[in-house]
Amino acid sequence: MVEQAWFGKTGFKVSRLVQGTWVTGGWAWGGSDETESLLAILRALELGINFIDTAPVYGFGKSEEIVGRAIRQWGREKVTVATKCGLEWDQGRRIRRNSRPERILHEAEESLRRLGVDCIDLLQIHWPDPDAPFENSMHALIKLQEQGKIRCFGLSNFSREQVLECLRTGPVCSLQPPYNIFERQSEKEILPFCVENEIPTLVYGGLCRGLLTGKFTGNETFPKGDLRRTDPMFKPDRFKKYADTVNEIKAVAAEYGKTPAQLALRWAIHQPGVTCVIAGARTAKQAEENAGALDWEISPSDLTRVDEIVAGHVGEPTAGS
């Protein structure tokens, strides 16, 4: 059995690595192959990854449907499934935030149908909606829990102040902030807050949109429809700096017989306040590589060494650096 942790007070015992499925839906990542995506999820499950994170907006339902197929093949009782709510889209696939109670209740029903399950383990509000009072959104989540349609609920991309506002209405079972070697804003408030309040986290972006895999030289370009095409971190002047940084981190990883991606995910697992780390995979081979982040340790001196490498190339690591 791979490395696991109790996920806060939810009663879930989950792998420290979470199978992410944004890329599974293809949207914003230049498309995806459904068969390969399904095999990637099944391979992760075979390797002991028992926690899957998805969302309706990932491929506009496609990701949840593929996850549902994997669950049916693998066995519902063996998997902890997290999905999200609070985003809607029109026929032109223009997305906007909507966490009004009626939207949350509707999305939950749609997710249950696409996933093919009777109950969602963890339902998270994907992004805070400034036009929907948090109290009302929380009441919708509580209603779904009372109806037995979800086991618990959490928040994604919420600030400390926003979480505190939600806590006035009910419990928050988890938080999902962005976090990786290059993007560390969550260290300032969210992760310490989670430690203090015993709220488990499943951090996303552990490979920083692929930057930390070591597969880039900094000269690559991305096709239309790939979010990295407009991401400031992938613009020529900065892209090369990040690629050079990873090239140096690669040497640290090699000392452990690991890849840069495995070291990056392991680095995140080591950080205070991090319960689990999400990593996506297009293929079964990528799922295998991700799983290599579990069941080993990075020495304190090498954790410091990674920080020094980052600081030497791109300055002190901060969000969006």
Report the catalytic residues. 58
Q: What is the dihedral of CA 204, 209, 215, 219, to 10 degrees?
A: -160
Residue among 188, 204, 206 at smallest CA distance from 265 = 206
Contact call for residues 40 and 283 (beta carbons, < 8 A): yes
Long-range pairs for 101-106 at CB < 8 Å and ≥24 separation? 101/136, 101/137, 101/139, 101/140, 101/143, 102/140, 104/137, 104/140, 104/141, 104/144, 105/140, 105/143, 105/144
DSSP 8-state symbol, 2: -
Q: Which two tokens stand for residue 180?
A: 């990786």
- Residue 205: left if φ>0, alpha if ψ -120 to 50, beta else—which one? left
Contacts of 197 (CB under 8 A, 6+ apart): none
Radius of gyration of the chain (CA): 19
Question: Which secondary structure element, helix H or strand E, spans residue 114, and what is its range?
Answer: helix 101-115
How far, in Å, CA of 84 to CA of 231, rounded?
24
How far, in Å, CA of 17 to CA of 89, rounded?
30
Q: Among the residues of 156-314, which ranges form H helices?
A: 160-167, 190-197, 236-255, 260-270, 284-291, 300-314
Burial of 28 (0-12, 13-18, 19+ CB in 10 A): middle
